[in-house]
Each structure stands twice: as structure tokens, then as C-alpha cells.
Amino acid sequence: MHLTLRQLEVFEAVARLASFTRAAEELHLSQPAVSMQIRQLEEAAALPLFEKLGKKIHLTEAGREFFHYSQEVGRLLCELDEVVEALKGVQTGRLRISVATTANHFATRLLAAFSQRYPGTSFSLDVTNRKSLLDQLASNDADLVIMGKPPEGLDLEATAFMDNPLVIIAPPGHPLASVDKIPLKRLQDETFVVREKQSGTRIAMERFFEERGVQFKTGMEMTSNSAIKHAVEAGLGLGVVSIHTLELELEAGRLTLLDVQGFPIERHWYLVACRGKRLPPVARAFFDFLMGEEASHLLSAGKAS
């Protein structure tokens, strides 16, 4: 049987996602290109791999065998990649790191300092939300992830390295701006500009209010912290953001922090990897760098106060 790795990769995506369209999107291919690869693979096997029942596609018995082996091949290729990276050592390795949207406010500074320390290394950085970070760890698309506390029960190793207080921001002229110790219940009448549902900040905020039996009104929903800050400044509502997203807005008087009882919400930043994964030396070096003194100076120098 003559088949190519590319055909197996395309097949694996179609089988996993049970959709030609979604596999085409994930692999950045056209749908006819995906169909052609599958047709060629079926010709090589001389057996059908999918069958269509109604609108859904299902694996045939041969398809299920192919799916098992295509996943094994994918896993072995990743392992080969890791072994090759290990042979290259730290000096020329490539770090695959993904960080939460909010963590990007300090991650690029850390990566710049790390690159100076190890000039031959390179990195790919993906900035995305919590759900997609967990997916990337599961599919081995990232070696390391910086995020809020990952959920219990997943096979992950998470090490806390910095606190991440969430604060309430308001425009300086807001009636509550001059009030001390505002009771949480008082915020029931206020509208909040919020992050998207998959955001760690949003999840923590919702949990905080829910645990205290206080409702809050959500107004506009935005996927970026900068957009939230601009919206709050423009008077569209209050916002809950990490203190790390605030740069010069407080000093410049464009935003103010509200003194609300129970705030800030105490969170932490974690460096997360899959438990038992053999980290490439460059990722191990980044781990040690982040837990070391240079990084902790950098991080405390960058903190808004």
C-alpha cells in the first residue's frame, strides 16, 4: 500500500473533526484538496474509509483502523520532533509557547529578555483565550502555556510564578470613584463591559459575583483588554481587568480603580505543561528563567501600582 504522511495527516483531521469542512479550515486547505487526499488514500487502501449517513460522515471499520494508526504516527512524529530538538540543545532550540490574552502584557518582555540570554533560540508565541490554551496543550501544539489556574483533573503540571489581582476600573468622573469600601451589592445597578465567555478574567469575575450571591449586568462583550479599557474610559460601563493590563491609564487620570469590598480578586499566573511530557531543552531553560531572579525583577518592574 502506497500512502503519504500528508494523506494520513488530512485523514486524521477529517476523522477527528467528523467534517471535511472543519478539517480544511484547520489545515488551511480548500475542501476539494481535502477530498482529493482522502480519495487517494481510499484508492491506496482499496477500501472506503468513510460512509455518509444522512448529513454526517462516519468511519467504516477500515476507517477506524486508519484513525488509530494515523494518531499513532502523529504521536511518533511529535516524539521525533522532541528528540531532534533535544539533540539541538538550548542554544538553537525553538520554544513553542502560548499565553492568555492578558498575560501578553508581560510575556513579550519576558521572551525578549530570554532571547537576549540565549541568542540562538527562536520562539513562536500564540496569544489566545483560556479554552484554546487548554486545547493546545491537549493536542501538543504548545510546549508551555502561561495562563490562570488550569482546571483540576487534567493531566497538567502547573507552577505559579506571579500574582494576578483583578481590579474594577471606572472613568474618573464616575459617582463611585470617590466612595470608600463600596459594598459589592451596590454594583448590581451598574453595567459591566466584559471579556468573552472563554476568558479567564470573565470566568473568575462571574464566579466571584455568583459565590457572593450578587448579580451584575453585562453590557458590551469584547475580546481584548485594551478595548475594555477604552470602552470604560468612554463611559460605556465599569470593567474588571487584571492589574497587569493597566499601563499609564491610572497615572494619566484616564481611568480610576474603585474601592469595592472583596476586591481585588486574588488570582495567580501559572506556567503550565503536560504532566510527564519530555520538555525540549529550550522549554526547560525558559521554565528555569521564569522562576529565576532576572524574570522576577522584570515582572515586578513592569507592574502597575
Residues binding ligand PGA (CB under 6 A): 100-102, 129-130, 147-148, 195, 199-201, 267
Nearest-approach distance from CB 199 to ligand PGA, in angstroms: 4
Q: At residue 226, what are phi and psi to the nearest 5 degrees?
A: -65, -40
Nearest-approach distance from CB 103 to ligand PGA, in angstroms: 6
Helix (H, G, I), strand (E, B) or coil at 22: helix
Nearest-approach distance from CB 88 to ligand PGA, in angstroms: 31
Kind plus residue range of the DSSP H or E element containing 160: strand 156-163
**Contact criterion met (CB below 8 Å) for 239 and 168:** yes
Which residue, 7 or 128, is less far from ligand PGA as judged by CB?
128
Nearest-approach distance from CB 123 to ligand PGA, in angstroms: 19
Nearest-approach distance from CB 264 to ligand PGA, in angstroms: 12
Task: Give 257-283 as a 3 state SS string.
Answer: ECCECCCCECCEEEEEEECCCCCCHHH
Nearest-approach distance from CB 129 to ligand PGA, in angstroms: 5
Which residue, 70 or 101, is less far from ligand PGA as judged by CB?
101
Which residue, 56 or 207, is less far from ligand PGA as judged by CB?
207
Which residue, 22 or 149, is less far from ligand PGA as judged by CB?
149
Which residue, 8 or 100, is less far from ligand PGA as judged by CB?
100
Q: Which residue is nearest to ligand PGA (CB)?
A: 200
**Contact criterion met (CB below 8 Å) for 244 and 105:** yes
Could you tell me the three cell numbers for 237? Answer: 460601563
Q: At residue 137, what are phi and psi to the nearest 5 degrees?
A: -65, -40
Q: Where are the alpha helices (DSSP H) in the chain?
A: 5-17, 20-27, 31-45, 61-88, 104-117, 130-138, 200-211, 225-233, 281-291, 293-301
Compute how many other C-beta atoms are within 10 angstroms of the C-beta atom of residue 230.
Answer: 17
Helix (H, G, I), strand (E, B) or coil at 155: coil
Which residue, 13 or 194, is less far from ligand PGA as judged by CB?
194
Which residue, 29 or 100, is less far from ligand PGA as judged by CB?
100
Nearest-approach distance from CB 287 to ligand PGA, in angstroms: 19
Q: Which pairing describes strands 122-128 and 94-100: parallel, antiparallel, or unpaired?
A: parallel
